[in-house]
Structure 1
Amino acid sequence: MKRNSCVAGLKLGCLALSALVMSSAAFAVEPGAAQCPSTQFAEFITAFTMNADTQPAFVASPVMESSVVSTGSKPRVVQRQVPTLAPRSLAELSADYIAKSGLSLEVQLPNYVFVRDRKGEVLKVFTFKFGDCWKLERVEDWSLEKVLSAQQGELRAAPGARALKRGALYDALTNESGYPADVQLYVSSLDSYLDGAAQGNDQAAYAAASVSLSGQAPRLDNSKILELLSQGSRTLAQASHALAGFYCDEGEYGDPRPCADPAKSLAALKRSAAQGAPYALSNLGSAFQRGTLGIQDSQRALACYLAAANMGLEDSRTTAEQLSAQGIQVDPAKPCLMPEPAEHAQALACPSKDFEAFFADYRESPAIQQAFTRVPMKKLITVDAEPEPKQVSTLLDRSELVFPLIPEAKTRETQGLTLQITDKSDTSATVKLQKPDTGYQVLYRFSFDGCWGLDEVQDFSI
């Protein structure tokens, strides 16, 4: 991600502290007196951070402080005037502290300094004002870790859940902030969502892509947005729907143009519909009716509209009635979500009767996973409950399964997931997918009946 803390349309210089290479000797202070290092803000900040002894001389009195505190379910911003600034606040503007703590310091003209980390856990805004010299007059601490601890304590949560919550709180706090904090809150919101996505949280991945595409936060590279939406689409219908749109417009919402990748867009839209999104069924109806995704079929369009209508979309019901009035009839052989010719899995021979060899092919091939997953497949998920989490079981038919069931190698590497065979006999085998040092753990259970096949998935993540 290329972070840019400037606001689009405003020609404000954004200078990284590291870009200012100056000699601290140029700002030497005479004994007993703190001379103004420079009237140029960027040069002043360089000297200010290099010389902690003289910092108090360039702090206004009183100073306005603001911070976020926990008040029940909703955090609140509190402000107060203090005659002197706590030493810790000034220490955080020390070049040594910044270097040792792993934080970054950004200078934005004409008079702002931002201190943050890369996960969204720390965000502070320092505002200076010029008189005889520059003086620090306002400190805003938007960091949310104490708020999150007060709200969630040490409760167990799914991997990345805390980062997801942090990102959502930053987003909400933009309504209580002014410039430039509002822009920085969106940056920290994105950083938090990316942190959650890296921990394997699908909601955080979808949120990161969404806030980036909104224009409120820095725009990520298309390859990263595609990765995030693909991750989110594993479990979220709205992420699959967004992925379908991204395959077509690649995040460019200008003049209408032909879909960039209609086949992938259609597959993602069908996945969203299979995951329970009625609006995806309606969109599929429109795509089949108009042929915008490479297939024009009025009978399938009717089937999609009727399926959406059965889920409560009255506009789809109206459109279905219009098609029926034109003489279009339902064809049972053409359901909305039928496989496309290119999607039909070819008859596959058993990759191997040796499980290690079989699984080496199975884990990297969605086609093999489809062919050698037995349906209905049993899935157990762990849900939070009192007095302790419990597992809920369900049976899934093929239309309810989203492939690949096991993330491919690139995805596993990106997300820090490990995959290993934990148990094997002549007739059964178990594979564990986990993220070390987190609560993320999924077991895949296979059995042998002429060939190996997946029977059950147990998701122990909370």
Structure 2
Amino acid sequence: MAGLMRVCLAWLALALSSAAFAAEPEAAQCPSTDFAEFISAVTTNVDTRPAFVASPVMELSVVSTGSKPRVVQRQVPMLSPRSLVELSADYIAKSGLSLQVQLPNYVFVRDRKGEVLKVFTFKFGDCWKLVRVEDWSLEKVLSAQQGELRAAPGARALKRGALYDALTNESGYPADVQLYVSSLDSYLDGAAQGNDQAAYAAASVSLSGQAPRLDNSKILELYIQGSRTLAQASHALSGFYCDEGEYGDPRPCADPAKSLAALKRSASQGAPYALNDLGSAFQRGTLGIQDSQRALACYLAAANKGQEGSRTNAEQLIAQGITVDTAKPCLAQEPAEEPQALACPSKNLEAFLADFLESTAIQKAFTRVPMKKQITVDAEPEPKQVSTLLDRSELVFPLIPEAKTRETQGLTLEVVDKRDTSATVKLQKPDTGYQVIYRFSFDGCWGLDEVQDFSI
């Protein structure tokens, strides 16, 4: 009886082991040894994806520790399904993400605003296997640092871009390159929301060679936006008008009049280095005007603000016999550029605007100077409006972007008030803090009198 029992138990064990063996899934076939083809297959087949994950896997993420984010790494025996969701073609399509394959073995997943950045690294053995996942996304870090406080438009995107920039020091290839891309995307997001600092940062990082190079027209647009409130952006705009971002062999300034106007704007916004550069421009005549007495006035003004080297420059001119002329201050107005004489496009507001919006020449001819401009500046306890009068040399045309540019940037334009002798036009970007008001008056023809920029 005991022998029969042992035989039965042996047959039972054999049957169970056979059933278990039959229940094991077959090993997933390697889709391809070609990395790009492999990723294409894996992203479209959810069931096979876990088979191509190594064990253990290195995970990297960014966490908040006080005011400074910290990069942490750890080895995990098994990835959570959430870690792999961005490798699903369906999820990418529904979430508005993009997936980029970089040979020989990297995959980057990101969005257009810089909110998402993940780097997947694979290694080839008998097939490709995921060995490293880096999550550089910063939204949780920003939320932990800012809480539920409502920041100024674009401020969160600006901070995100700055954090990405700082994190490049704690990353290696290829993440460092991708962090610069996400930094630029974040700054562009902030600029689109009306943040001048983000606009200046986007143009600067694009020209640095570390992030993708934007078109010159876009860089110019960003610098112009930044110059509304930032002296350093006006200074950079002055340089861009001259060299157009090409820092090679010295060459004549491409647009000296606009460069001079932007440099004067930077100086009037409080930048002592701009005063020194104005002195150099007037001394050498590099921006179309050679005037040693104005150069001296600029050097002395810069020296009074503590700009290093400016007093030495002034002393050199004085040693050459140049004297101070109070009739020639540094920031004296230049002879106004005379607008081309044009006939009134139309006395009908709608017809007038149709031509005004699409022609820089018409905008120059029918903008009345000095033009009043109001900008919103960040201040405590709340933002405030600051007014200034701009002469023609300080205006950057077009004052209102043309239809193609408005469409590209998601801007809308509408007449919000129309009377017999006055009209108000509003330019805005829906769901952002970007809003600019243009006020026109009628005096034989329509003309632009005032710009109120409520963007922060």
TMscore range, shorter length:
0.7 to 0.9
Equivalent in 263, 266, 278 of residue 284 of structure 1: 278
> 1:331: Cα distance to partner?
2.4
3-state DSSP of counterpart to 1:183:
helix
The code of the aligned residue for 1:407 comes to L
> Is the Cα contact below 8 Å between 1:369 and 1:403 reproduced in 2?
no
> 1:177: Cα distance to partner?
0.9
Q: What is the aligned partner in structure 1 of residue 123 from structure 2?
A: 129
The code of the aligned residue for 2:431 comes to D
Distance 1:225 1:382 in 2: 22
Q: What is the aligned partner in structure 2 of residue 179 from structure 1?
A: 173
For the structure 1 residues 299 and 63, does the alpha-carbon distance in structure 2 shift closer, same or farther, using more than 3 Å as the test? Answer: same
> Is the Cα contact below 8 Å between 2:336 and 2:392 reproduced in 1?
no
> 1:370: Cα distance to partner?
4.6
3-state DSSP of counterpart to 1:216:
coil
For the structure 1 residues 180 and 380, does the alpha-carbon distance in structure 2 shift closer, same or farther, using more than 3 Å as the test? Answer: closer
- Where does structure 2 lack aligned partners over 5 or more consecutive residues? 1-23
Please give the residue correspondences for 1:246-257 in structure 2 after superposition, counting only pairs within 5 Å. 246-257=240-251
Identical positions, percent: 81
> 1:252: Cα distance to partner?
1.9
> Is the Cα contact below 8 Å between 1:158 and 1:461 reproduced in 2?
no
For the structure 1 residues 154 and 368, does the alpha-carbon distance in structure 2 shift closer, same or farther, using more than 3 Å as the test? Answer: farther
> 1:400: Cα distance to partner?
12
1:190 partnered with 2:184: yes
> 1:313: Cα distance to partner?
1.2
> 1:156: Cα distance to partner?
2.9
1:340 partnered with 2:334: yes
Q: What is the aligned partner in structure 1 of residue 399 from structure 2?
A: 407
The count of corresponding residues between Structure 1 and Structure 2 is 427
> 1:442: Cα distance to partner?
4.5
Q: What is the aligned partner in structure 2 of residue 371 from structure 1?
A: 369
Equivalent in 316, 319, 335 of residue 322 of structure 1: 316
For the structure 1 residues 361 and 283, does the alpha-carbon distance in structure 2 shift closer, same or farther, using more than 3 Å as the test? Answer: farther
Whichever of the two has the greater Rg, that structure is: 2
Q: What is the aligned partner in structure 2 of residue 160 from structure 1?
A: 154
> 1:136: Cα distance to partner?
0.7
- Where does structure 1 lack aligned partners over 5 or more consecutive residues? 1-29
The code of the aligned residue for 1:126 comes to F
3-state DSSP of counterpart to 2:262:
helix
Distance 1:446 1:94 in 2: 53
1:274 partnered with 2:261: no
3-state DSSP of counterpart to 1:126:
strand
Distance 1:165 1:424 in 2: 40
Distance 1:361 1:460 in 2: 25
Distance 2:340 2:68 in 1: 54
> 1:314: Cα distance to partner?
3.7
For the structure 1 residues 240 and 461, does the alpha-carbon distance in structure 2 shift closer, same or farther, using more than 3 Å as the test? Answer: closer
> Is the Cα contact below 8 Å between 1:269 and 1:280 reproduced in 2?
yes
> Is the Cα contact below 8 Å between 2:239 and 2:259 reproduced in 1?
yes
Q: What is the aligned partner in structure 1 of residue 48 from structure 2?
A: 54
CA RMSD of superposed structures (Å): 3.4
3-state DSSP of counterpart to 2:70:
strand
**1:416-458 deviations in whole A, cap 9, x for unaligned?**
3444444466787655443322233445667899999988766
Distance 1:253 1:63 in 2: 45
1:237 partnered with 2:231: yes
**1:224-268 deviations in whole A, cap 9, x for unaligned?**
222222222232221221122122222222222222332332222
Distance 1:236 1:421 in 2: 30
Q: What is the aligned partner in structure 1 of residue 143 from structure 2?
A: 149
> Is the Cα contact below 8 Å between 1:63 and 1:81 reproduced in 2?
yes
**1:316-338 deviations in whole A, cap 9, x for unaligned?**
12111210121112223322223
The code of the aligned residue for 1:371 comes to V
